[in-house]
Structure 1
Amino acid sequence: MKRKLALGLCTSFLALSLVGCSSPKEEAPEEKAPEKEVAQENEGAMTDGTYEVETKDFDDNGGKAKVVVTIKDGKITEAKYNEFTEKGDKREDEGYNEMMKEKSGTNPAEYEVEIEKQVMDVQSAEIDGVTGATGSSSKAKTLFQKALDNAAEGKSEKELIEIK
């Protein structure tokens, strides 16, 4: 009698563990579908206009960043990313661009354009970023996301945000 009970319990546990191991593969595609639906809903819900978000403070290297996003018919029609110092626009500083290219393999003249292109291509802030510009890519994602959140809320005032 005890053996039958033990065998029954072991069989039950084995069956439950097999069912538990096989279910994530079947459910994974369903989990991604709602995210896509939410992104599509947000795109359509964005209010036409221009939205600007800038870092509030200069970073440790003396730089700030800003994005300007233009929405028309619920889609991103223009995405601008720019880093600058008190001296001016990093994208236009030839000496800085040469130094950064040697140091990290890229520079603002290249990675700012690539970040803008990625935002336009994916129509969101969920970009891959640029190798060699990890910090700038992360900052851009944060700024673009805030601008797109503002577009969804219809908040067109320029916003300054802290990025740590």
Structure 2
Amino acid sequence: MELFNEINEIVRNDYNNQVLKILAGIDVYNKIPELKQVIESPGKMIRSTFTYITSFLESEESHPNLSHLSIIIEFIQAASLIHDDIIDNGLYRRGRKTVINEYGLHSALLLGDYLIFIAMRLIAEVKAEEKKNKFLKVYLHVCYICMKDRGLKAS
């Protein structure tokens, strides 16, 4: 558990150091308080921590795109949680009001979509086409599973 916590701290530091640099290229970041709220309170970052652990298993050197990938994962996770709260009409998450509870349905839906589009923009910057395509294929499969779980008539 101690090793996990050490790596989680690295992940959090990388996220905090890189996310604002990435968002500096997005003109409206400072104009959308809901977006700032979500970005500046990313949660436990468990998925990103496992991404780092997996990378360290392959090589002892940190991969240069690791923080970029982790931010993509965190944005997709945040968007998924916002959309999940819309579906479930969730009131609280991480000890705070959910986006839908605080800002309403329209803001929550648009913010979740906006986070997905930021993630897609970051994915588009990945140079390795094959890896990018695999990542997108997995993400689409996850979306498909969620649709089936919610009762959509997906076969």
TM over 0.5: same fold?
Answer: no
Which of the two has greater helix per residue?
2
Question: TM-score, with normalisation over the residues of structure 1?
Answer: 0.29
The higher-RCO structure (CA 8 Å, 6+ apart) is 1
Which of the two has greater strand per residue?
1
Larger Rg over CA atoms: 1
Question: TM-score, with normalisation over the residues of structure 2?
Answer: 0.30
